[in-house]
C-alpha cells in the first residue's frame, strides 16, 4: 500500500459522501448485499446520519489526507454519492493544485461541471483507487422498466414519452441537457445549464397568468388546456455513471405536479430515483405517473 498508481487492497469499499439522502441509500444497499463498507463523509458537506456505520471523515480540502485514509483502510474501491456544491468543488481544486499537475487542473476546471467530477475521479484512480459505477454499486436505486407508480399514462402522454426520448437522443451529440418537458408533441422546455428543477419551474411560469406566462396562458384558449405534458429525463450519451448521474426524487415530482404535468418518464437503468418511498408517495398523491423506459 505505498506507491501511487497501484491497485488498492482487498479491504472495504469506501463511500465518499456528499450531502443529501443518496449516500445513506447507497450505503444501505451495499451493506444489504453483504459487502464491507466505510463511509467517508466530507466534513461540512455530508449531512446524512451515519452513526450506525463505520466512518472516516475526510476533508475536501485535503486530498493527500483522503488518499492516505484510503490507503490505511486498504480500500478496494471508491463509491461517490451525494451532492457537492460547486463552490466546494472549486475550493477543492484550489487546494489540490498543490499536489496535482496544474495543467490537468486547469483543463478540468475549464471543461465545466462534468469535467470537475471527472477530475476528482481521475485523481482517485491515478492514486490506485477505482471509482465504481453507481449502477453497479446500487442497482436497486435505478429506475426499473414499466409503470413505477401512479396512474397509467394516457395515449397522449405515451406518445409524448416516445417523442421525448427520441428528441433527447437527437440532442445527445450537442451535449446539452438530459431532460425536457413535452406536451401534446410540443417541446415546452429543454434543459441546459439551469438544471431539471429550474426547467420544470419555467414550465409552471409559462402556464401561469403573469407577464412571462401570458403567452402560453392563452395558448389554446378554446380548449382551456393548460395542463398535461411529461417530464422526460435520460442519461446523456457518454454519461459518467461513477458520479453525478441523472436523478429524480420527491421534489421533482412536486415541481412536475405544480407545473401541471401528467407524469415523469425516465430512462430505465440510467436514472436514479432518490428517496423512492417519498417519491412514490408524492406521485400517488399528485396523481402523477412515473414510468421507466429502456432506450
Positions that interact with its own copies (CB under 8 A): 85-87, 89-91, 93-94, 97, 106, 109-110, 112-113, 167, 170-171, 173-177, 180-181, 184, 186-195, 198, 202, 206, 212, 214-223
Contact 26, 78 (CB under 8 A): no
At its nearest, how many Å lie between its own copies and the CB of residue 15? Answer: 24
Cell numbers given for 153: 399514462
Contact 234, 295 (CB under 8 A): yes
Nearer to its own copies by Cβ, of 37 and 168: the residue is 168
Cα separation of 250 and 263, whole Å? Answer: 13
At its nearest, how many Å lie between its own copies and the CB of residue 213? Answer: 10
At its nearest, how many Å lie between its own copies and the CB of residue 94? Answer: 6
Contact 100, 84 (CB under 8 A): no
> How many other CB atoms are found less than 10 A from the CB of residue 61?
16
At its nearest, how many Å lie between its own copies and the CB of residue 98? Answer: 13
**CB-count exposure of residue 40 (10 Å: 0-12, 13-18, 19+):** buried
Nearer to its own copies by Cβ, of 89 and 261: the residue is 89
Nearer to its own copies by Cβ, of 122 and 144: the residue is 122
Phi/psi for 186 (5° steps) reads -105, 125
Phi/psi for 4 (5° steps) reads -65, 150
Nearer to its own copies by Cβ, of 39 and 179: the residue is 179
At its nearest, how many Å lie between its own copies and the CB of residue 282? Answer: 22
At its nearest, how many Å lie between its own copies and the CB of residue 137? Answer: 25
Nearer to its own copies by Cβ, of 72 and 214: the residue is 214
> How many other CB atoms are found less than 10 A from the CB of residue 6?
12
Contact 262, 230 (CB under 8 A): yes
Nearer to its own copies by Cβ, of 188 and 248: the residue is 188
Paired strand residues for 230:
182, 263
Q: Which residue has the cell 451493506?
A: 31
Amino acid at each position: 500500500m505505498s506507491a501511487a498508481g497501484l491497485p488498492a487492497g482487498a479491504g472495504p469499499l469506501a463511500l465518499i459522501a456528499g450531502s443529501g439522502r443518496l449516500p445513506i441509500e447507497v450505503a444501505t444497499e451495499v451493506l444489504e448485499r453483504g459487502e464491507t463498507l466505510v463511509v467517508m463523509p466530507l466534513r461540512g458537506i455530508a449531512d446524512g446520519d451515519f452513526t450506525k456505520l463505520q466512518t472516516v471523515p475526510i476533508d475536501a480540502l485535503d486530498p493527500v489526507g483522503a488518499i492516505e485514509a484510503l490507503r490505511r483502510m486498504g480500500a478496494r474501491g471508491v463509491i461517490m454519492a451525494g451532492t457537492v456544491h460547486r463552490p466546494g468543488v472549486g475550493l477543492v481544486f484550489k487546494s489540490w493544485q498543490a499536489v496535482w499537475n496544474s495543467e490537468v487542473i486547469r483543463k478540468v476546471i475549464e471543461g465545466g461541471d462534468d469535467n470537475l467530477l471527472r477530475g476528482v475521479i481521475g485523481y482517485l484512480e491515478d492514486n490506485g483507487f477505482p471509482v465504481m459505477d453507481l449502477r453497479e454499486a446500487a442497482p436497486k436505486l435505478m429506475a426499473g422498466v414499466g409503470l413505477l407508480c401512479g396512474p397509467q399514462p394516457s395515449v397522449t402522454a405515451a406518445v409524448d414519452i416516445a417523442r421525448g426520448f427520441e428528441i433527447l437522443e437527437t440532442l445527445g451529440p450537442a451535449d446539452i441537457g438530459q431532460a425536457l418537458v413535452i406536451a401534446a408533441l410540443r417541446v415546452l422546455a429543454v434543459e441546459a445549464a439551469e438544471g431539471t428543477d429550474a426547467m420544470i419551474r419555467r414550465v409552471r411560469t409559462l402556464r401561469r397568468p403573469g407577464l412571462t406566462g401570458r403567452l402560453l396562458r392563452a395558448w389554446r384558449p378554446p380548449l382551456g388546456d393548460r395542463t398535461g405534458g411529461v417530464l422526460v429525463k435520460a442519461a446523456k450519451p457518454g454519461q459518467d455513471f461513477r458520479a453525478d448521474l441523472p436523478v429524480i426524487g420527491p421534489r421533482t415530482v412536486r415541481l412536475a405536479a405544480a407545473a401541471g404535468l401528467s407524469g415523469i418518464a425516465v430512462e430505465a437503468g440510467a436514472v436514479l430515483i432518490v428517496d423512492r418511498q417519498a417519491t412514490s408517495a408524492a406521485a400517488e398523491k399528485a396523481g402523477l405517473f412515473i414510468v421507466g423506459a429502456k432506450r
